Amino acid sequence: MTTQSILAIYAHPDDESQCAGTLANLAADGALVTLVCATRGEVGEISDPALATPETLAHVREGELRCAAQAMGIGEPIFLDYRDSGMDGTPENEHPDAFMNADADEVAGRLVQIIRDVRPQVVVTFDETGGYGHPDHIAIWRHTHAAVAAAADAARFPEAGEPWQVERIAYAVFPRSFFTGMRQKLVELAEDTSDLDRFLELGIGFADERINAITDVSGFIEQKFAAIDCHKTQFGGDSFFSRVGDDEMRRMMSREYFVFGWPEPESSELLSELFP
Ligand SMILES: [Zn+2]
């Protein structure tokens, strides 16, 4: 039996959080789980000035991702060493090392090498909207698709080893029903929903009808919370996530949602795992 191998390709430390339970579960089941992170998230916010300064943030967030990888029970993350591009329209976008400006062939070459080394059947990344439109998230989606195609083509990057055909690209997403369900819960608890309402108006959440797989990670929820807890510089204050209460939070976080981005899914049947 061939070993299951899954490769998660993300832009920043903490991007992996929404599939952390699935990665932990697969690692515990003996799959090879590899996490690639294009940047160190050095332009991100700092929740508490005691944790980092803008100068130390890259180093601190690298440590946070290593901590998360350990919590998930996977190997050391692979950093591509690009610079965080910051949010859309910020001056950080102009930086020559910003990931969003990276040379497509250069990124593809790096990713092809990793794909041919770890031979994943499944690659997980962001969807085409980048979750919430961060330019690095959209960039990693684009480069991942290009690299998966190039990895299978013997004529591309021959120095990177034997071609490897990935079988599926999956996007970890939050469906719209995740947020409408959360809103319902907040209403029941008589909590304020105004910030969530604003996001819902902006169209937060992925179309439910496009979800192809939902994984049950209730058995790995402690590992998932431990992994998320590593990203201390990224803790928002009073987010709507924290207002639903511990039990509801645990219930909501016990399921992870995936859209199959490539190839086109053969059926609309809702699956409970990622491997073909
Ligand atoms: Zn990110």
Query: Alpha-carbon distance 275 to 195, whole Å?
Result: 36
pLDDT at 232: 94
160 C-alpha to center of ligand 1: Å? 28
262 C-alpha to center of ligand 1: Å? 21
The SS3 assignment for 5 reads strand
pLDDT at 223: 97
| Residues 184-193: tens digit of each pLDDT | 999 999 999 9
- pLDDT exceeds cutoff 70 at 52: yes
163 and 117 Cβ atoms separated by less than 8 Å: no
The SS3 assignment for 135 reads helix
In degrees and rounded to multiples of 5, residue 9 shows phi and psi of: -120, 110
232 C-alpha to center of ligand 1: Å? 14
Residues near 5 by Cβ (< 8 Å), separated by ≥ 6?
A: 31, 32, 33, 34, 118, 119, 120, 121, 122
270 C-alpha to center of ligand 1: Å? 27
Query: Alpha-carbon distance 36 to 9, whole Å?
Result: 5
- pLDDT exceeds cutoff 80 at 135: yes
73 C-alpha to center of ligand 1: Å? 21
Q: Could you give the C-alpha distances from 276 to 20, 43, 163, 266, in angstroms and in order?
A: 20, 37, 19, 11
- Beta-strand (E) ranges in the chain? 5-10, 32-39, 78-82, 122-125, 168-173, 213-216, 255-262
159 C-alpha to center of ligand 1: Å? 31
Q: Place 1 in a pLDDT band, splitting at 50, 70 and 90.
A: low
| Residues 214-251: tens digit of each pLDDT | 999 999 999 999 999 999 999 876 677 778 888 999 99
CA angle 102, 105, 106 (to 5 degrees): 60
> What is the average pLDDT value for the chain, to the nearest integer?
94
222 C-alpha to center of ligand 1: Å? 22
134 C-alpha to center of ligand 1: Å? 7
188 C-alpha to center of ligand 1: Å? 31
Q: Average pLDDT, stretch 98-115?
A: 97
169 C-alpha to center of ligand 1: Å? 18
Query: Alpha-carbon distance 227 to 21, whole Å?
Result: 9
63 C-alpha to center of ligand 1: Å? 16
- pLDDT exceeds cutoff 90 at 266: no
Select from 32, 30, 38 the least CA-distant residue to 14: 38
12 C-alpha to center of ligand 1: Å? 5
